[in-house]
Amino acid sequence: MLLNKEKSIVTVVDVQARLLPGVHEHERLVDNCKWLVRLAQLMEVPVIGSEQYPDGLGHTEDSLRALVGPANLHAKTLFSCIDDAGFEAAFGAHDRPQVVVCGMESHACVVQSVLRMLEKGLEVFVVADAISARNPLDTEIALTRMERAGAQLVTREMVGFEWLRGSDAREFKAFSKEFLR
């Protein structure tokens, strides 16, 4: 199944500044999440995010927070974002069956969110180059588990090309110029 921009929503899971220093290739993670959010904005795809216990762990990395918009970020204490009532209500308001997931940590909040989204009947696409954890092995095992459970593994460029469908799309020139260089 291909991604469809009319059916998609991007979910940014717990990319919190205070936790980033311990995360494997955290600068790349933040850059790739920002790339994906900017792409969603170009393609008019909604973006929603979560923050794990922000009172204790702080907020989303500043530049990513600014892109997503503080009003689109939802505090939670459950590891699965979709199990949080506030997040689920905001997510459900968009009525989008395809979820494009990025964030951290792969083996905790990302995997639990993805598995629960699958259980709810959503089509889940995990952006493999936009998730991470403290230990790369945790990410590797989480990717395997999510794929076996039915999630589609994609890269950020795959998301862009699938949303575009062809070079005749009105956004293709901007995509080519801003996202492929």
| pLDDT of 104 | 98
Where in the chain are the domains? 8-150
CATH number, span 8-150: 3.40.50.850
For residue 122, what pLDDT band results from cuts at 50, 70 and 90?
Answer: very high
What the block records as the tokens of 177 is 């110029």
Chain segment 28-41, per-residue pLDDT in tens: 999 999 999 999 99
- Cβ pair 45, 9 in contact under 8 A: yes
DSSP three-state, residue 36: helix
Where would I find the beta strands (DSSP E) of 6-78? 8-13, 47-52, 73-76
Q: State the Cα–Cα distance between residues 105 and 163, nearest whole angstrom.
A: 26
- Backbone phi, then psi, for 56, in 5-degree steps? -100, -30
| pLDDT of 180 | 94
For residue 143, what pLDDT band results from cuts at 50, 70 and 90?
Answer: very high
What the block records as the tokens of 27 is 């600068």
Taking the CA atoms of 94, 49, 39 and 2 in sequence, report the sign of the dihedral they define.
Answer: negative
- Backbone phi, then psi, for 19, in 5-degree steps? -90, -20
pLDDT at 181 over 90: no
The overall average pLDDT reported for the chain is: 98
Q: State the Cα–Cα distance between residues 62 and 21, nearest whole angstrom.
A: 14
Burial of residue 15 (CB within 10 Å: 0-12, 13-18, 19+) is buried
Chain segment 60-106, per-residue pLDDT in tens: 999 999 999 999 999 999 999 999 999 999 999 999 999 999 999 99
